Amino acid sequence: MKLYSKRRGAISLIIFALLFAFILFTAIRGFGYEYSGSISDIKLGLDLRGGVSITYEAVGETPSQQDMDDTVRKMQDRAYGYSTEAQVYQEGADRVTIDIPGETNANKVLQELGTPGTLIFCTSTTDIAGTTRLDGNDIEAAQAGSDSENNYIVMLTLTDAGVNKFSEVTGELAGTGNPLYIVYDGEVISAPTCKEQITSKTCQIEGSFTYEQASQLASYIRIGALPVELTELRSQVVGATLGTNAINTSLMAALIGLAVVILIMIVIYRMPGFAASVALVFYTGLIIVLLAAFNQEITLTLPGIAGIILSIGMAVDANVIIFTRIREEIGLGNTTAGAIQAGFKKALSAIIDGNVTTLIAALVLYLFGTGTIKGFAITLALGIVLSMFTALVVTRLLIKSMYALGMSDKKWYGEKKPAKEKNFLSKKNIFIACSLAVILIGVGFMVGHGIKNYALNYSLDFVGGTSTDVVFNENRTIDQLETEVEPDVVEAIGSTDVSMTPVIGSNEVIIKTQVLTQEQRSALYSMLEEKYNIDSSSITYDTITATVSKEMTRSAILSIVLAAVAMLIYIWIRFRDVRFASASVLALVHDVLVVLAAFAVFRWTVGSTFIACMLTLVGYSINATIVIFDRIRENQAIMGQKTDLKSVVNMSITQTFSRSVLTSLTTFVMVLALYIFGVTSVREFALPLMLGIVVGAYSSVCLAGAVWYIFRTKFAPKKAEEGQKKSGKANK
């Protein structure tokens, strides 16, 4: 049986080689007149590249905390227009700071964002306060656009309360020729007339606008929907919080990890491993090109890198599932061609179910998440789609082409004899007891720490802290700050939770730490004066709120819960058995709780990357479990209902054991390289991720099948129980 003719195989390889070269060239150098689409075009976050930082101050009396909270939330929504990784936080009692990654022109951002002020809609300019009918809080969104005749307009979306107010005032003004004044900070910025009463949630402002005028009006309306009037205090371009050293070491770690994974694949799987390695390099180049192409929508940060690492692991996993199946078919006596065909066919359901389940999770995280969660979801979803494409299309093309060109001997593919069943279920009680013990220990530590202070070791990302502005006598890069200044700051305040950001074009450095006591602040000032000869007048400080807001934390928790529910429903439908779905989700919850326990016991810092770590576990754990459950489903059909259920589960885990170990190993290697070669902040991110990979493999092999078996035997349908009893009597 021939998969490809020799001619077709040669043509396919030539076409792929040309495409491969084009993708790699574009990823490294760029394409076209402007050489766009390369790795240098990827938009990096504040942690990797820096950006613009703008601080606003409330006008007049100090506003209430509720008004400040509302202002921060609404400014965050606007900042997301630039990047989902933008951060907005309160500084002191009456200031709001916006950090927008990837931007280098503060004046441009200020002009586009607008000067925050008060916005009202009124029917008279002589008695503005008395004739106000709507204000900025009644506007949900405003943006520039064009109508069917290509005239520029401003499109408004009203809140539910705003719809009623707008309907009432437009009903009064319709046909009278009297305008509805839009007043911003006491100045009329537009005065449209109403042709008819408007009762819908959306409407548009027409006029002889240029696009710039329409955009500016929309900007004023958006920025005016604030409970607090703000004025610009300062704007500056800040450097990366991790520095070029972090980027370079992370890239080096990724290359080393990828090289080790390729070596493992070739050594274990021979020719198919080589094909998968080529496909993996192609995948890497392709994802770089797409990240660069969509740099307006995707900002790459450490959580985004986590999504890419996870997708690389899943790309390897798909290939491992296929190659294991091919070897099994050869071991059963099938021809090489037949084994290749059967291998891809039998692996398809596990690959699709595993990847679609994770894709559903990514979709839910994107729809209901905010900020960092959205960035993670986008890169994860992109990686999953590409990994499925490379495994099911590129790897298949390469294997079939090389087979057609003469690599048809079984020695190129390997052979796997039928596995000897291992009794995993005999240890299920021990596995469950150990897991419960670890989780309970974690709960105990959290309760103990919670009584004294915080249950977990939250960083300033979660609990806020102190921002200290220092003007050094000379300019210092972020790498110099990390290696020279940061250790001194850590020693002075007695805490490792320190973030240092240089202000571009000046000697100013922003040092963010936990909330400092008077004693810690004095120690910090003394150290800066004595060691760096900095006058105390060049040092200012203020309290800042958390950059990871309560809303974002709630959003993360809600996203994970909804993702788990969505995955449960999908697995239930696909496997037609809620017990498969329940066991999968319980294994996932187990992984999250065990890693959480480690954070509590070892007091690992819980920062913004903590959310990314937990989200990575959600995607990784469920995929490994699906592969085992897919094999259980298949073996049930092959072995028949009379076969001992325990034997079915044990055999399924045994058959997929090598896949579980190898996939975990390759993903672990990628993260381990980041841990070994990365800077401190990268290591803090990589360490719990490595634990999560190990825990995910453990739960899939040792717990998921066992939990399903318990559910299946304890909650079996009555008809199935009666059938098993009759079968037992017949056997006697």
Mean pLDDT confidence for 40-54: 75
Within 8 A by CB and 6+ apart from 709, the residues are 425, 428, 645, 646, 649
pLDDT tens column, 648-689: 999 999 998 988 888 888 888 888 887 887 766 677 778 888
What local confidence, expressed as pLDDT, does residue 597 receive?
94
Q: Indicate the pTM of the whole model.
A: 0.72
Domains of the chain, CATH where assigned: 6-41+242-412 (1.20.1640.10), 51-238 (3.30.1360.200), 424-443+549-719 (1.20.1640.10), 465-544 (3.30.70.3400)
The lowest-confidence range among 62-66, 70-74, 115-119 is 115-119
φ, ψ (nearest 5 deg) of residue 642:
-75, -20
Residue of 231, 206, 237 whose CA lies nearest to 114 = 231
- Using CA atoms, how far apart are residues 171 and 400, in angstroms rounded to an integer? 70
- The confidence score (pLDDT) of residue 727 equals 43
Instruction: Give the CA-trace dihedral at 56, 60, 64, 65, to 10 degrees.
Output: 20
Q: What does the angle CA 647 – CA 648 – CA 654 come to, to the nearest 5 degrees? A: 85
Average pLDDT over residues 533-546: 82
Ranked by mean pLDDT, the top range of 50-59, 188-197, 469-478 is 188-197
Structure confidence by residue, pLDDT tens digits, 588-608: 889 989 999 999 999 888 876
The 10s digit of each residue's pLDDT in 108-165 is 777 666 566 678 899 988 878 678 898 888 888 888 888 888 889 999 999 888 999 9
Percentage of residues of the chain with pLDDT beyond 90:
20
Cα separation, 36 vs 48, in Å, equals 20
Question: Which amino acid, residue 516?
Answer: L
CA 550 from chain centre, in angstroms, equals 18
Note the pLDDT of residue 170. Answer: 92
Alpha carbon distance 555, 550 (integer Å):
8
Query: Which residue did the predictor score with more confidence, 223 or 276?
Result: 276
202-211, 384-393, 542-551: which range is least confident on average?
542-551
Rounded to the nearest 5°, which phi and psi values hold at 302? Answer: -55, -45
Q: Can you give the pLDDT at residue 722? A: 46
Cα-trace Rg, the chain:
30
Using DSSP bridges, classify how beta strands 152-158 and 230-238 pair: parallel, antiparallel or unpaired.
unpaired
